[in-house]
Structure 1
Amino acid sequence: MTETIEHMNVLLVEDSKQVADVIYEYFEDTEIELDYAATGTRGLTLAQQNSYQCIILDIMLPGIDGLTLCKTLRDAGNNCPIIMLTARDTNQDMLEGLNIGADDYIVKPFDLELLEARITAVVRRSSGLGFKNSLTVGELSIDLKSHCVTRQGKRVSLNPSGFKILKLLCEHHPNLVTREAIESVLWPDELPDQDILRKHIYQLRSKIDKPFDREMIITVPKQGYKIEQ
């Protein structure tokens, strides 16, 4: 399989259960976690309510078709990378999808390794990661290989959960990351019974913000968190 970015939440909007099952089975043991919608209407709701690194979007859908869904998201300012899936392979169809904001296009039937590679590529481009080994937001820097975090040149020691949260916030800067998206990264299999995320955020702030003169980790009430330069 293609090397993927560490953990990605991906929305699959596909009305064919057979196609969805094949995609689910392929990504089952990878760092790509799928949410699924069988209609365009449900896909739009999920895309509006959650934070995804990529959307895999079929064109022919019940409810809202894929092209309309893509245009609706783009008109609303949602810049999540979108890969269109379709059996329609004419240049006109491809151009229409790309012109309304799709990032890539795959024609059915397709190779699953190619789909994985396309997902990784569009996520890298959209996040500004490219093939970099570090993330920088203002005076904060993260070495993605060594997991070394510094602010104003001073090293900050984080536990694994704190590092995952900070990395996610930096990857999505300047946008917010929903509580649900953070929880799915920390606890991909089963959420804890109590609100442990609040405790992790508090611990992260005590390391990243408290020793310095201003806060970088910002709470967006009832939505999630973001990081500011």
Structure 2
Amino acid sequence: MRLLVIEDHRNLVANLFDYFEARGHIVDAAPDGVTGLHLATTQRYDAIVLDWMLPRMDGPEVLRRLREGQAIQGPGSQVPVIMLTARDELPDKIAGFRAGADDYLTKPFELPELEVRLSALQARIRGHRRNPVLEVEDLRMDLATLEVTRAGQPLHLYPACRKLLEVLMQASPAAVTRERLEYALWGDEPPDGDMLRSHIYELRRSVDGPFPVKLIQTLPRIGYRLVAPGPAPAAHG
């Protein structure tokens, strides 16, 4: 499952990352409503965890714009949203549901309960639509189960490598800049050093290493792309 957490409390976000990534999920985070809305409308997510009180734009307004606006999933995104807030009065809950929330969880809460609620929403959604699957040549990624295979063989990827692969597959055959890949992993705070190169190296070992056809291409001074190489040009002269 790919989750977007729109929450400004860093400790809570860190706990959510640790909990869900340890279970094989991909997690993106936004520290304010404007950034969260941008990610929610330009990226594909299986579910969104949305705080009520946010800098720059509050949770209900983010949700209203998401439901009414244009998103990668189509006009008026129907991605499941759980509102996460300390507001526990009935009028607040009603306001959250009227804004378009699918569920409402009050703070403090237990992480297993959030996981169960997300799983229940996913099960309901899967009953209404097919699981989205990305495919490039013989490489396949199921965005619902996070299973990755190539030529029918399962690939075991670290969460960071899986996130990079998803971005590359969604963009294929177009190039993806280093800046975009770094943002996908670390947001606005990339680590010192060239950690991206290390993750790409590990991704190549899994995706290309055991196979004769190499799909991940390096574009010097630009970034990377995922595409099957074309036929060799005919010799001249």
- Please tell me the TM-score bracket, short chain as reference: 0.5 to 0.7
CA distance in 1, matches of 2:226, 2:126: 24
* 3-state SS of paired residue (1:199): coil
Opposite residue 80 of structure 1, the aligned amino acid is V
* 3-state SS of paired residue (1:78): coil
Matched residue count = 158
Task: Give the corresponding residue for 1:104.
Answer: 103
Q: How does 1:47-66 map to 2 (within 5 A)?
A: 47-66=40-59
In terms of Rg, which structure is larger? 2
State the Cα distance separating 1:100 from its structure 2 match: 1.7
* 3-state SS of paired residue (1:162): strand
Match of 2:140 among 134, 147, 162: 162
Structure 2: runs of 5 or more not aligned: 70-75, 147-165, 172-184, 186-198, 205-215, 218-223, 231-237
Match of 1:18 among 11, 14, 20: 11
1:122-144 residue CA offsets vs partner (Å, 9 max, x unmatched)? 122123269xxxx699xxxx9xx
State the Cα distance separating 1:28 from its structure 2 match: 2.6
TM-score (norm 2): 0.57
Shift of the 126–61 alpha-carbon distance from structure 1 to 2, 3 Å rule, reads: same
Q: How does 1:137-216 map to 2 (within 5 A)?
A: 161-162=139-140, 164=142, 180=167, 182=169, 190=200, 194=217, 197-199=226-228
Q: How does 1:120-139 map to 2 (within 5 A)?
A: 120-128=119-127
Task: Give the corresponding residue for 2:37.
Answer: 44
8 Å CA contact 1:50, 1:181 repeated in 2: no
1:165-198 residue CA offsets vs partner (Å, 9 max, x unmatched)? 7988xxxxxxxxxx728469xxx96465526643
CA distance in 1, matches of 2:125, 2:169: 19
8 Å CA contact 1:67, 1:97 repeated in 2: yes
| Runs of 4+ that moved beyond 4 A | 165-168, 181-184, 188-193
Shift of the 167–14 alpha-carbon distance from structure 1 to 2, 3 Å rule, reads: closer
8 Å CA contact 1:52, 1:80 repeated in 2: yes
CA distance in 2, matches of 1:120, 1:10: 12
1:75-115 residue CA offsets vs partner (Å, 9 max, x unmatched)? 12111110000000011111111112111010000010001
CA distance in 2, matches of 1:9, 1:165: 7
* 3-state SS of paired residue (2:101): coil
CA distance in 1, matches of 2:131, 2:109: 36
Task: Give the corresponding residue for 1:75.
Answer: 68
* 3-state SS of paired residue (2:142): helix
* 3-state SS of paired residue (1:57): strand
Task: Give the corresponding residue for 1:118.
Answer: 117
State the Cα distance separating 1:21 from its structure 2 match: 1.1
Shift of the 104–60 alpha-carbon distance from structure 1 to 2, 3 Å rule, reads: same
Structure 1: runs of 5 or more not aligned: 1-7, 143-157, 169-178, 203-229
CA distance in 2, matches of 1:24, 1:163: 21
Opposite residue 69 of structure 1, the aligned amino acid is V
CA distance in 1, matches of 2:92, 2:113: 20
CA distance in 1, matches of 2:10, 2:144: 36
Task: Give the corresponding residue for 2:221.
Answer: none
TM-score (norm 1): 0.59
